[in-house]
Amino acid sequence: MNSDLQKLQPYPFEKLAQLFAGVKHEAGLPHIALSIGEPKHQSPAFVKDSIIHNIDKLAVYPTTKGLPELRKAISQWACKRFELGSEGLCPDTEVLPVNGTREALFAFAQVVADRHQAEPLIVSPNPFYQIYEGAAYLAGVEPHFLPCLPENGFVPDYDSVPESVWQRCQLLFLCSPGNPTGAVTDEATLHKLIALADQYDFVIASDECYSEIYFDETNPPVGLLQACKNLGRTDFKRCVVFHSLSKRSNLPGLRSGFVAGDADILAAFLKYRTYHGCAMPVQHQLASIAAWSDESHAQENRRIYQQKFSSVLNVLDGVLDVQRPDASFYLWPKTHIADTDFARGLFQQQHVTVLPGRYLSRTINTINPGENRVRMALVAPLEQCTEAAERIKQFVQSS
């Protein structure tokens, strides 16, 4: 048995189930879940229709590289969204479809990390998407965490990272917009990180799966490939991005996303994936073409989230220390008591589930950036999100 498995912590939702063990909600209220980032808006009807229309493709083995038509649709979307130019992303060499970003992020670390080098590191924000840590350990590499604190806008203070860390870094995970903070890494910081990657020869993996949930249609979050292009770096050297239809298009069950960027890295990643056995079903690829080719449903999705943020923040104003994030569908409020006590008490008294922040972060040098914070995912319908906010208000005011 792989001994590195012993380094993995229980997943946050396992910890949450343990926290709630034996607890019964007292008021007989219907449950409202704000704990898991699973979109609950309607999936686009035309995507469902595509799957139904192409259900006979169940009889076809998919290729790991995916359909040329899908890679072209992805390239066209990314070039338009991130202003890469009409031919700024080669569909044949710089795009690879994947079964959602979760498996791709994990697999990517197995390709990039070299456990035979001296004391290699995979560097990650803290708090973080838990796959980053698991991917590091199972690649035989130590994770190194950079705190995301409010005084730096919940973005790591990269200027304070010792040179010794960059010298050992093989892979830097970015998450922008951040999970759980919603913070967006600005272009100047991305340029700085690209220069560091050149200087110390590491790869940047930018998890951008929340990039299409934002509040200003005229100012979407910048992406890593966009920052490359604006530097004249059209080969995207050392830079790779991860995108998904789960959040953008309310299709978490489709398990469809893509990786794009440095062609040499993607060639190695494709080789790994050919053995890994993770080709996307053809009917899902065809449905994905439809989703990436339509922007109107993504705009409507953002409009609904904007309504929910406005309503929830209006209720919680003056109740919790909480601000609207730069992007994403999460709130990251401070709690007046321990985050685990807050989550447990809220579940017991109001039957609302939130995720304690410490479950998403690690204590480094006595600092845990998630302590006394909780993650609230505004994925439920507007009425439920507003009702949850009212219940949270009651809980805070009574405790």
- % of the chain residues with pLDDT over 70: 100
Average pLDDT, the chain: 96
Average pLDDT over residues 340-354: 97
Of the ranges 1-10, 227-236, 317-326, which one carries the lowest mean pLDDT score?
Answer: 1-10
Q: How confident is the model at residue 363 (pLDDT cuts 50, 70, 90)?
A: very high
Q: Which residues in 99-187 belong to E strands, given as ranges?
A: 121-126, 142-147, 169-175
Residue 398 DSSP SS3: helix
pLDDT in tens, 285-337: 999 999 999 999 999 999 999 999 999 999 999 999 999 999 999 999 999 99
Cβ distance 113 to 136 under 8 Å?
yes
Average pLDDT over residues 354-359: 98
pLDDT at 28: 87
151 has a pLDDT exceeding 90: yes
Average pLDDT over residues 115-138: 96
pLDDT at 203: 98
Average pLDDT over residues 248-277: 96
Average pLDDT over residues 339-360: 97
Those residues whose C-beta lies under 8 Å from the C-beta of residue 351, and which sit 6 or more positions away, are 25, 27, 29, 30, 31, 32, 391
26 has a pLDDT exceeding 90: no
163 has a pLDDT exceeding 90: yes
Q: Distances in Å between the alpha carbon of 296 and those of 51, 81, 261, 302, 335?
A: 20, 13, 26, 10, 37
pLDDT at 299: 98
Cβ distance 288 to 46 under 8 Å?
no
pLDDT in tens, 42-84: 999 999 999 999 999 999 999 999 999 999 999 999 999 999 9
pLDDT at 27: 77
- % of the chain residues with pLDDT over 90: 95
H or E element: which one contains 288? helix 282-292
Those residues whose C-beta lies under 8 Å from the C-beta of residue 298, and which sit 6 or more positions away, are 212, 248, 249
Torsion angle, alpha carbons of 36, 40, 44, 49, to 10: 90
Q: Distances in Å between the alpha carbon of 120 and those of 14, 274, 330, 361?
A: 29, 26, 32, 21
pLDDT at 312: 98
Cα angle: 192, vertex 179, 19; to 5 degrees: 140
- All structural domains of the chain, each given as residue ranges with its CATH number in brackets, are 7-36+297-398 (3.90.1150.10), 46-294 (3.40.640.10)
Residue environment code for 227-239, b if the CB has 16+ CB neighbours within 10 A, otherwise e: bbbeeebeebbbb
Average pLDDT over residues 261-277: 95
Q: Distances in Å between the alpha carbon of 6 and those of 1, 15, 19, 362?
A: 10, 16, 21, 16
Average pLDDT over residues 32-51: 95
124: its two tokens: 């990650």
Look up the pTM and report it: 0.96
Q: How confident is the model at residue 24 (pLDDT cuts 50, 70, 90)?
A: confident
Backbone angles phi, psi at 35, to 5 degrees: -90, -35
Angle between helices 339-350 and 12-19 in degrees, nearest 10: 60
pLDDT at 278: 87
